[in-house]
């Protein structure tokens, strides 16, 4: 079958439509980060917030978060390892091959599903109301490594696909770049501006969705299973529908992903 042929799996994909899976990732970021911060007082995707929380923890702040140093270091460290390993592997293969991109998203889906399984089994405490009742429970560390590692893989994959305007994890640079766009208010097609706007809307939309899910009583693992499902569907979409190009040289100039061997991100 063509789907399982070596040529099909190893062919270089055309990253032109790679913005679609990354925009789906933006929604997942909002969904999972809102759940993690509300329940455990720590981010798993937006590591700028964790860096500030880590700095506060050196002075014993916030006073309600007794394990802030451990949680932020666990999340940040797992994120960095996930990004490092993804970039490391990309430099030793064709990072835009169908199999590499598909496996990256499949691995992300597995990691989110692992965190969801741990939470579903009751091994990780949750606090839907965000009152801080569980912030003193060291077991909140349990689900952080797979979630943060997955987000490290996610942002590395966004760089490999060449869409730096969709960081997928953070919005500060997107806000700044939007304000600096000379064609911000143009009615003409402006792909980078439109992708940035899309990332803002989807991260915000994911976070709002997560907030109301928790408000209505949905357990945190429900949001994680949704996130895992979205990642799985994204991987299947890349495997089945993403166009391929067998000539790597045709897309080298347009994708940062094919410059990974020359550029260290």
Reported as half-sphere exposure (CB side, CA atoms, 13 A), residue 248 has a value of: 12
Q: How confident is the model at residue 50 (pLDDT cuts 50, 70, 90)?
A: very high
CATH code for the structural domain at 17-242: 1.20.1250
The pLDDT of residue 260: 43
* Nearest partner of 224 among 127, 139, 123, 110, judged by Cα: 110
pLDDT of 258 = 40
Contact between 195 and 165 under an 8 Å Cβ cutoff? The reply is yes
Residues 119 and 115: their CA atoms lie apart, in Å, by 6
Q: What pLDDT shows up at residue 132?
A: 60
Q: What is the pLDDT of residue 231?
A: 96
Query: Which sequence spans correspond to the domains of the chain?
Result: 17-242
The length of the chain in residues reads 265
CA gap 32, 202 in Å, rounded: 12
**What does the mean pLDDT of the chain come to?**
86
Average pLDDT over residues 42-51: 93
- pLDDT tens, position by position, 66-120: 888 999 999 999 999 999 999 999 999 999 999 999 999 999 999 999 999 999 9
CB atoms within 10 A of CB 82: 25
For residue 97, the cross-strand partners are 12
pLDDT digits (tens, 9 = 90+) for 204-255: 999 999 999 998 888 888 999 999 999 999 999 999 888 877 444 444 333 4
């Amino acid at each position: 079958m063509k789907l399982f042929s070596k040529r099909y799996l190893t062919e270089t994909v055309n990253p032109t439509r790679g913005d679609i899976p990354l925009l789906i990732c933006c929604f997942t970021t909002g969904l999972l980060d809102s759940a993690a911060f509300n329940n455990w007082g720590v981010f798993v995707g937006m590591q700028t917030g964790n860096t500030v929380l880590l700095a506060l923890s050196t002075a014993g702040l916030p006073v309600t978060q007794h394990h802030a140093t451990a949680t932020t270091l666990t999340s940040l460290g797992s994120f960095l390892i996930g990004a490092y390993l993804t970039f490391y592997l990309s430099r030793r293969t064709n990072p835009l091959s169908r199999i590499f991109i598909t496996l990256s998203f499949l691995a992300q889906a597995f990691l989110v599903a692992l965190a969801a399984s741990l939470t579903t089994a009751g091994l990780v405490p949750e606090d839907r109301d965000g009152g801080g009742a569980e912030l003193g429970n060291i077991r909140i560390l349990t689900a952080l490594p797979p979630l943060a590692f997955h987000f490290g893989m996610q942002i590395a994959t966004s760089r490999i696909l060449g869409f730096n305007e969709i960081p997928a994890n953070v919005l500060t640079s997107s806000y700044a770049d939007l304000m600096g766009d000379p064609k911000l208010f143009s009615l003409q097609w402006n792909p980078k501006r439109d992708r940035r706007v899309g990332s803002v809307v989807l991260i915000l939309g994911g976070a709002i969705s997560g907030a109301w899910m928790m408000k209505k009583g949905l357990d945190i693992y429900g949001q994680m299973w949704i996130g895992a499902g979205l990642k799985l569907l994204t991987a299947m979409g890349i495997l089945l529908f993403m166009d391929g190009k067998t000539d790597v040289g045709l897309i080298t100039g347009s994708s940062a992903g094919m410059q990974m061997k020359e550029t260290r991100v």
